[in-house]
Structure 1
Amino acid sequence: MTNPSKNSFVMFAAFFIGALLNYGFNVIMGWMLTPAQFGMLGVSASFLLIFSLFVTSAFPLTTTKFISGKYDTTTKHRVFKSALIANIGIAVLLSIVFYVGYTTDIIDLGANYNLLVICILLATIFTAMSIIYISILQGTFRFKSFALIGIITIFAKLMSGVILVKMGFGALGAVLSFPISMFIGLSLAILLTRDFTFWKTKGWADSNVYFFALPMFFGTLGTTLLMNIDIIGVKFLTEVALSDALSGYYRAALILAQLPIFIVGALMGVLFPYISKHQEDDRYASKSIKYGALFILPLALVIAAIPEAFILLMFPSEYIASAPALSIVAIGMGFLVMIMVFTNIFQARNVPRIPAIILPFAVIIEIILLVVLVPSYGIVGAAGSTAIACSIGCIVLAGLYVHTYKLKINHLTIVKVLVSFCILLLVLYTLPHTGLFPLVGSMTLSGIIYLVVLASFGLLTEEDTSIFLAGMPNHKAITPIAEMTSRVIRKLNRV
């Protein structure tokens, strides 16, 4: 088994920096804009994410799979060219449909969104182009360059957004940072992939590439809609006078609840090409599920347990009204973490039709629940709709994964995991967690206790430790700590 830990370390380091910058952007915008303007930013961002989904889910993942697979150079070049042209065409078509829908009031956002819509369309087109170029870096395992583009793009969004809002452009300035940053990311991606001389190869990809891309699209479409359609429901299913403000409050809850999503994105961004290249080795898929469940899912539970502490840490006190919604939607994002893991595994192992069939049904369930619950319960109803739909999607995908690969369920392991979660939350909840230092201290202490429990239960093994530590820098100050950690885990495993 090839150890992807070093690449994972690079991706997680990039994630940490990118998350700080991205959260910095959202938090700063929350302070600089009014709740109504912040809501307009949230609605615009959700539309952009949904449109971006059409150009980031089908052909980019397909391109990554073919480039990382055992195919000849000619095939890889043809797949790239076909994917690039197809993605641009999809982006242009989406832009036309959305603009016509907006100008004819089919999508009734209001006159305040005139220029925001243009920004969304430009960002969608730039995203369609850049993501295909970036898939070259991911498919050729150049994760440092892959991570660099992500960091620079988010930094550009932060700086341009702050400058434009400071200049008095309000929500328009914040949304205008999207196409600016994506254009910068596109330019950098073209520069870093200039060695991939696809233009020297004639011809186009075979039709099987397009047939493979279609279920890839629907599978990823489901995950993105589950994550973003709820705020659009808040916008359109609440009173017009309050819709932007409520969207702003719910946006604050989503920003915090989606932290685990960014982490699992970094994890699967590394493991997807490995699973694709070594399909016969089930260990990559198993490790993905294990690490997602034991180390990313608990973060969602922590956020759900103490929502007020996270809101007061990141946003003005007026956003405390979103705490009940955050507590519920964070649980939904925990289920979505595992949905993303199972979806990527199915896609990497050439079974993309399973999530492509299941997740659209989960989205339909969410939409029905939004229509029923949001008019009566507002943002809490939106959070509940997301949590229920994600839980159903996760359970069904997990069951199909077990059935497809004929796995045996270890009920004792499930009990151990649940007990570990309960201990983590119990310790955290009993400690002080209001304010930066109490929250960090409580999370650190409860996290250490949680890891000790995992090791004592045999859920965290010495092999896991070696995989994690292999990605750490080889430094004289780090090596003794790594060796001591391995010894401690070994002793706890014997308990």
Structure 2
Amino acid sequence: MMFVAFFVGALLNYAFNVIMGWMLTPAQFGMLGVSASFLLILSLFVTSAFPLTTTKFISGKHDVVTKHRVLKSALMANFGIAILLSIVFYVGYKTDIINLGASYNLLVICILLATIFTAMSVIYISILQGTFRFRSFALIGITTIFAKLMSGVILVKMGLGALGAVLSFPISVLIGLSLAVLLTKDFTFWKTKGWSDSNIYFFALPMFFGTLGTTLLMNINIIGVKFLTEVALSDALSGYYRAALILAQLPIFIVGALMSVLFPYISTHQENDRYTSKSIKYGALFIIPLTLVIAAVPEAFITVMFPAEYIASAPALSIVSIGMGFLVMTMIFTNIFQARNVPRVPAIVLPLAVMIEIILLIALVPSYGIVGAAGSTAIACSIGCIVLAGLYVRTYKLKMEYTSIVKTLVSFSILLLALYNLPHMGLFPLVGSLTLSGIIYLLVLAGFGLLTEEDASIFLDGMPEHKAITPIAEMTSMVIRKLNRV
């Protein structure tokens, strides 16, 4: 359900950006992009600490009073952070520390309103996530993006230009907030007296740095391209690298959907390794292969999604995709540590990885451009992933299953070999080769016993019951069961 919501949301968000690109002038579209970037930065401070902390406590084995007090404290703390950020940002804008110009007066107000609404909305949404109501969780995400698309189109059509497009941000978030409040009215936290103790704040701080670390690892490289290359070429190189990042970061959004579901389960069943092992297994077997596929045939993906001149970003895409593969596992290990009450580990490791990436960017980007930026990201993400994986094995005293690791690497090799030898240039050849090589890959996984009948049932149970789907699901289970016996 969350994967479906991800794809629908991604499609609507893509439609918003494309439609705004057609409806606005280049200058107005640029103002929209700048506003969206500032909103992303401000939102990071209200979406990285208390929402996940709230989910952690609500999904955990705590009494109702504790859960209510945590929710109240998190809501007020997040609201306070949003107000403080808004004041600092507005003062910076008015004093020209943030030099945007007078044309951004109303746009800044929209950014601040969206930040405040977001701060409250994510706390209410964490109730749904913590109580395993993923249908409602997904509904709010899709509704918010759809509201942004529709309100943006209507307001721009009314002649408001960039203001109308940016005004869609607070409007859509407010609609999502209202829906979240309505769907969580049974969680009557306002009836409970008192507030949470200081533990929630001490817990939220390392949660923030862990989430901040993964976000910076993924986004700081394009800033390096902008400021560490020649001024005359920086905009063009940033555009090429942006195209590479858009494609390379697709698996990151998928792992976000996966962990948004598994995080509360891991938090609830900390004594049971089943959910943690499933998180690692599914990330390794089903998300990392996507990063490897993009890295293997980058030209095919670029030519399908972007104009021909963006082919220059293919080498950078190939390298940064490998980095995103390491980042996928980094995010999984980070969420596992956070859900199992050890948020300090990623809070220490990931900022160090970010520092390594910054040093590498300074050293490599001036000489190697976007390839240097991609290499810096890949190295930093690999270091963060390896360190977190080692600490995970050591902390929970796990035994390495070397046979499974070898089988996984062989499966990856067969997937890439099949893809590389099939025609993949062009939309239909690429889709066809991905489908065929994907089927081969799944058969190999089943033959190696890496994909079991239990795994198949987990995914197939999410399919709707239909006379055309049920026989396919039963046949799939039967094939996997027989291949497991090979």
Offset from partner CA, 1:364-410 (integer Å, 9 cap, x none): 11222223333333333332222221111111111111111111112
Give the equivalent residue in structure 2 for 1:388: 379
For 1:71-470, what aligned pairs fall within 5 Å after superposition?
A: 71-102=62-93, 117-162=108-153, 174-240=165-231, 242-470=233-461
Q: Which moved more, 1:218-227 or 1:466-475?
A: 466-475
Q: Which moved more, 1:105-114 or 1:171-180?
A: 105-114
2: CA distance, partners of 1:379 / 1:56: 29
Report the Cα offset of residue 96 of structure 1. Answer: 3.0
2: CA distance, partners of 1:34 / 1:301: 38
Count residues with an aligned counterpart: 486
From the superposition, tell whether residues 443 and 488 of structure 1 become closer, same or farther in structure 2 (CA, over 3 Å): same
From the superposition, tell whether residues 172 and 378 of structure 1 become closer, same or farther in structure 2 (CA, over 3 Å): farther
2: CA distance, partners of 1:112 / 1:242: 27
Gaps of 5+ in 1: 1-9
Give the equivalent residue in structure 2 for 1:3: none
Report the Cα offset of residue 36 of structure 1. Answer: 8.2
2:11 is aligned with 1:20: yes
Aligned residue type for 2:409: L
1: CA distance, partners of 2:300 / 2:159: 31
Higher relative contact order (CA 8 A, sep 6+): 1
1: CA distance, partners of 2:30 / 2:240: 7
Report the Cα offset of residue 109 of structure 1. Answer: 6.6
For 1:3-42, what aligned pairs fall within 5 Å after superposition?
A: 10-28=1-19
Aligned residue type for 1:188: L
Report the Cα offset of residue 241 of structure 1. Answer: 5.3
2:42 is aligned with 1:55: no
| SS state at 1:474 partner | coil
2: CA distance, partners of 1:158 / 1:324: 34
Offset from partner CA, 1:41-78 (integer Å, 9 cap, x none): 55654443333222112111111111112222222221
Report the Cα offset of residue 175 of structure 1. Answer: 4.5
| SS state at 2:466 partner | coil
RMSD value, Cα: 2.6
From the superposition, tell whether residues 340 and 322 of structure 1 become closer, same or farther in structure 2 (CA, over 3 Å): same
Q: Which moved more, 1:242-251 or 1:122-131?
A: 242-251
2: CA distance, partners of 1:388 / 1:102: 36
Give the equivalent residue in structure 1 for 2:57: 66
Gaps of 5+ in 2: none
Aligned-residue sequence identity (percent) comes to 87
Offset from partner CA, 1:225-276 (integer Å, 9 cap, x none): 1122222333333455554444333333222211111111111111111111
2: CA distance, partners of 1:386 / 1:105: 33
Residues 40 and 248 of structure 1 are in contact (CA less than 8 Å); yes or no, is this contact kept in structure 2? no
From the superposition, tell whether residues 262 and 157 of structure 1 become closer, same or farther in structure 2 (CA, over 3 Å): same
| SS state at 2:424 partner | coil
Report the Cα offset of residue 106 of structure 1. Answer: 5.1
2: CA distance, partners of 1:218 / 1:61: 12
Give the equivalent residue in structure 2 for 1:5: none
Report the Cα offset of residue 126 of structure 1. Answer: 1.9
* TM-score between the two structures when normalised by the length of structure 2: 0.91
